Amino acid sequence: MTQRRYFGTDGVRGRVGKSPLTADFALRLANAAAQVLTPEGGRVLIGKDTRLSGYMFESALEAGFVAAGVDVVLIGPLPTPGIAYMTMHLECDFGVVISASHNKYDDNGIKFFDKNGEKISDELELQIEALLDEEPITKESRQLGRASRVDKMRTKYQDFCASTVPEDMTLDGFRLVVDCANGAGYKVAPRVFADLGADIVPIGTSPNGRNINDGCGSTEPELLKHLVPGVHADAGIALDGDGDRIVMVDAEGSLVDGDQILYILAKERIETGTLKGPVVGTVMSNLGLERAIGELGVTFLRTKVGDRHVLAELRKEGGILGGEPSGHVLTLDKTTTGDAIVVALQVLAAMKRTGKTLKDLASGMQKTPQVHNNVRLTEKFDPNSSEVVMSEVESVTKELGTSGRVVLRASGTEPLVRIMVEAEEEETAQKYAKQLAEVVRNAAA
């Protein structure tokens, strides 16, 4: 496949003000996307998270689309999965999300959904890129698109989230701490849980344009871990900045990550007779998850890192559950993309049905110690192309046997090699991770 210049695994992303994340590029991107995705004119939904730069990119995208003859519907801050859902609900031809997900505020990104609320294909992204060097088109006045705001329509997404649990189920009796990361879910997430009857303690709900994912949310849940037992809550729920990732905290303040959440959902669907196909994780998924899923009598498959790959494997194998340790969990029987609110509701529904605590539900999966070591280099280096590195990986893998794993990945954006070693004992994993890091440094020198 032709090398993509701008699109990565999750749209176009980067540092605001540096190529390609400029206002000029956003306008050209919108114009090119309009020509590829709806050449005869149509309608696009634009949503965003709470980053300061979101206003700039929203205006630039709007201009590019309108100039190309596409009607623009602006819905304001809303989780990425909410934009995917509302794209379908409003019968738009496609949707656009302005967000850099779990990154800090000085990054941003732009990604596209098709009319079915799914990420557009690699082929369409390449077609869009092919037009980016051409002058943007501006149609004559009578063919220009129109723009309108539908901010209050976000309640339709709240209703959808609530509809994913059994009709007669409430959250009465639950006390929940909900951390919205000062991001896209700051309005809708607390309301969904409160409307279902839970007693809510909201945090991370005061965005100022610069504090998204800053000391809060799924990437930094320390405050949540202290607060949940402090206020005697049953559970804590942490979204990331765009609301598609989730981690949780049990009543004792212990973290429940994406792997453990995936296990809970798989077991719940087995017990309710609703599981279809295999469960899909990535090369970074904990060995404990693979073992626990196997003990449930279900096939566990691994893909490359990225929810795009997990989704492709689920589609191929007819599965409905997949995800990553970071908390990007797919429940395809409920929605088309990772959705932190929907996933949290599925876990709470399992707690409600079984009468078990979150700690009890997660206890069926015993995590294997994992050690992560990022080796920063002076220039990009692919460890998989080095015979010396691969020989060492083979040697360590042989020594670990079935009780551990080794994963080496080169960063796609910086001169960095990510090393993950999994072993029954953390000391063993630490030893091999350090050993592999040294081999990588020497090989890259």
Catalytic residues: 101
List the beta bridge partners of residue 372.
420
User: Is the CB of residue 24 less than 8 Å from the CB of residue 59?
Assistant: no
Alpha carbon 407 to chain centroid distance? 21
Cis ω for the linkage preceding 20 (within 30 of 0)? yes
Kindly give, in sequence order, each residue whose CB lies less than 8 Å from that of residue 214, ignoring residues fewer than 6 positions away: 104, 105, 182, 220
3-state DSSP of the chain: CCCCCCCEECEEEEECCCCCCCHHHHHHHHHHHHHHHCCCCCEEEEEECCCCCHHHHHHHHHHHHHHCCCEEEEEEECCHHHHHHHHHHCCCCEEEEECCCCCCCCEEEEEEEECCCCECCHHHHHHHHHHCCCCCCCCCHHHCCCEEECHHHHHHHHHHHHCCCCCCCCCCCCEEEEECCCCCCCCHHHHHHHHCCCEEEEECCCCCCCCCCCCCCCCCCHHHHHHHHHCCCCEEEEECCCCCCEEEEECCCCEECHHHHHHHHHHHHHHCCCCCCCEEEECCCCHHHHHHHHHCCCCEEEECCCHHHHHHHHHHHCCCEEECCCCCEEECCCCCCCCHHHHHHHHHHHHHHHCCCHHHHHCCCCCCCEEEEEEECCCCCCHHHCHHHHHHHHHHHHHHHHHCEEEEEECCCCCEEEEEEECCCHHHHHHHHHHHHHHHHHHHC
Question: Between the CA of residue 345 and those of 151, 212, 348, 353, what are the distances in Å?
Answer: 24, 23, 5, 12
Among 137, 92, 135, 81, which residue's Cα sits nearest to residue 114? Answer: 92
d(CA 354, CA 277): 23
Say how many residues make up the chain: 445
| Tokens coding 171 | 């959250």
